[in-house]
Chains A and B, each alone.
Chain A
Amino acid sequence: MTKTLEISNISKSFLSNYRRKNVLNKVSFSVNYGEIVAILGPNGCGKTTLLNIIAGILKPDDGSVIFNNEEIIHPSWQRTMIFQELNLFPWKTSLENIVFGLRAKGLPKKEAIFLAKSQLKLLGIENFSNYYPNQLSVGTKQKVAIARALALEPDILLLDEPFSSLDMQSRELFQEDLINIAKQRKQTMLIVTHSIDEALFMSDRIIILNGSPAKVNAVINLAASPNRTPRYRNTQQFSKLKNEIWEILRSKD
């Protein structure tokens, strides 16, 4: 398998209240083509910081991020991100939000509109094309954000606690939908989450990040796991893995 993303010895600190706080300490891992990797860790451990560094929004103090054999300097649509707060532009309709992304990628307007419409249809929200974000339910907003990111066909899709605003049931449905789309397209994904269930259900590999400053404490390979059908959540294997991960998170705290 070939690597698309390789992170080596990333460290990052912030200045807060005139004191330097180390957030990340020599974090290293890599992501292969077509792989779905979850970064699991408690809230506030620096997962989002790590994702922002990979997206190119933040710069690391030390270490390197190599993406398709090149050092990351700027944000790029090839590493587009679904933010925790979704960040849909409130002054743009669902359609316009997606069109904006496609035009930002460099597509001509006509083609962008055509693709955006088919993306809305794919996610079953074409009826909401001309609605503004504050007219939409949380779930529909979520779908628009997913559509905006998927439409770009990024090399890797970064997701920051993507479903945290949804209730438990919708959350599971969204996980299932997204995993289906991702598997069909062989979409490489890097998901940041604090939910063991989410990480277990969605990813091929879990990277456990914790401590202060955070470092990689364990890597759990799940590539051989059975298909991600809803039933998988209720299997013994699932709960066994869940307990194992709990133990790791507890012991390294």
Chain B
Amino acid sequence: MVMINKKTIILKVLSVLFVVIIWQILSSSQIINAHFIPPPLEIAKSFILTIQSTEIFKDIYVSISRVFVGFLMGAVIGLIFGVITSYSAVLRYLLSIWIEFIRPIPPLAWIPLAILWFGLGNKSAIFLVALGSFFPVYSNTFEGVIALPKKFVDTAKTLGADSKLIFLEVVIPAILPYIITGLKIGLGVSWMIVVTAELVGTTSGLGYFIQLNRILLQVDKVIVGMIVIGLIGLVMNYFISLLEKYFSHWKIINTDL
């Protein structure tokens, strides 16, 4: 396992180095126009300057806190709706027609309404994030409860388990992997939505940082903003993967046997 990890890390580093070096060579030989894409060295310089001036940290903080609040709201509501609709057939049909109707509307199409309802700023962005994270959490939770094999519940009963023990040690562990998949997708969607929402509907955050620097014609800073967005997304995904590993480690088959 250690060997494989080392190997994958080396490959990843090599891949990044390769692209950056080629890019630098193409820029230096002026095959790529620096007005459209500045060379990596310049971006690196700009990146360090941006970090040093600390102005970007406020935007990072604002974006992350919007995602945090919006995602939490969307996920909790998605979780509750997922459980309710999987247990009650009546509620399932009453609610699902609306959920299935609203799902295909991109959260970004809600921007005009969001601004109308909540004005420019935090509330609009949080609303859009909540909307976007609701659907993946909702549908994965729903699927998890529906897929819960009755046989495990029956087995627990024949061992004498009461409903509390069944809920805690059979139902929860069985549907947890589904919920975490929903959270993972939801968080990814949230991060994309917050940046997009900030491009139009706010005056702070990483999306606004990009938009502002576009107007100021600072392409290097636009790219720095994009890199920061990508890095933060990567870190978020990493943490959720840890969670996923922790709660579905029993799914991993030991190939030693």
- Give the B-binding residues of A (Cβ under 8 A): 55-57, 74-77, 79-81, 83, 85, 87, 89-92, 100-101, 103-106, 131-132, 134-137, 148, 152, 158
| Residue from B156, B159, B250, B257 in contact with A152 in the complex, judged by beta carbons closer than 8 Å | B159
Please count the residue pairs between chain A and chain B whose beta carbons lie under 8 angstroms apart in the complex: 74
| Residue from A87, A105, A132, A152 in contact with B155 in the complex, judged by beta carbons closer than 8 Å | A87
| Residue from A75, A90, A132, A134 in contact with B158 in the complex, judged by beta carbons closer than 8 Å | A75
Q: Do the beta carbons of B160 and A106 come within 8 Å of each other?
A: yes
Residue B167 CB within 8 A of the other chain: no
Q: Do the beta carbons of A80 and B160 come within 8 Å of each other?
A: yes
Residue B170 CB within 8 A of the other chain: yes
| A106–B159 alpha-carbon span in the complex (Å) | 10
Q: Do the beta carbons of A135 and B257 come within 8 Å of each other?
A: yes
Q: Do the beta carbons of A77 and B155 come within 8 Å of each other?
A: no
Q: Do the beta carbons of B151 and A104 come within 8 Å of each other?
A: no
Supply 19 A–B pairs (Cβ within 8 Å), ascending by A.
Answer: A56-B157, A57-B154, A75-B154, A75-B160, A76-B160, A77-B158, A80-B160, A81-B155, A81-B158, A85-B151, A90-B251, A100-B159, A100-B161, A104-B156, A104-B159, A106-B160, A137-B257, A148-B159, A152-B160
By secondary structure, the B interface counts as helix
Residues of B within 8 A of A57 (CB): 154, 157-158
- Give the A-binding residues of B (Cβ under 8 A): 151-152, 154-162, 165, 169-170, 173-174, 250-251, 253-254, 257
A77-B158, A105-B159 are contacts. A91–B250 as well, Cβ < 8 Å? yes
| Residue from B162, B170, B254 in contact with A89 in the complex, judged by beta carbons closer than 8 Å | B170
Closest chain-A Cβ to B146's Cβ sits at a distance in Å of 18
By secondary structure, the A interface counts as loop
Q: Do the beta carbons of B254 and A131 come within 8 Å of each other?
A: yes
Q: Do the beta carbons of B155 and A83 come within 8 Å of each other?
A: yes
| A226–B234 alpha-carbon span in the complex (Å) | 70
Given A100-B161, A135-B257, 20 other A-B residues pairs in contact with their CB atoms under 8 A: A55-B158, A57-B157, A74-B157, A76-B158, A77-B158, A81-B158, A83-B155, A87-B155, A89-B169, A91-B250, A100-B156, A100-B165, A104-B161, A134-B251, A134-B253, A135-B254, A136-B257, A152-B159, A152-B160, A158-B158
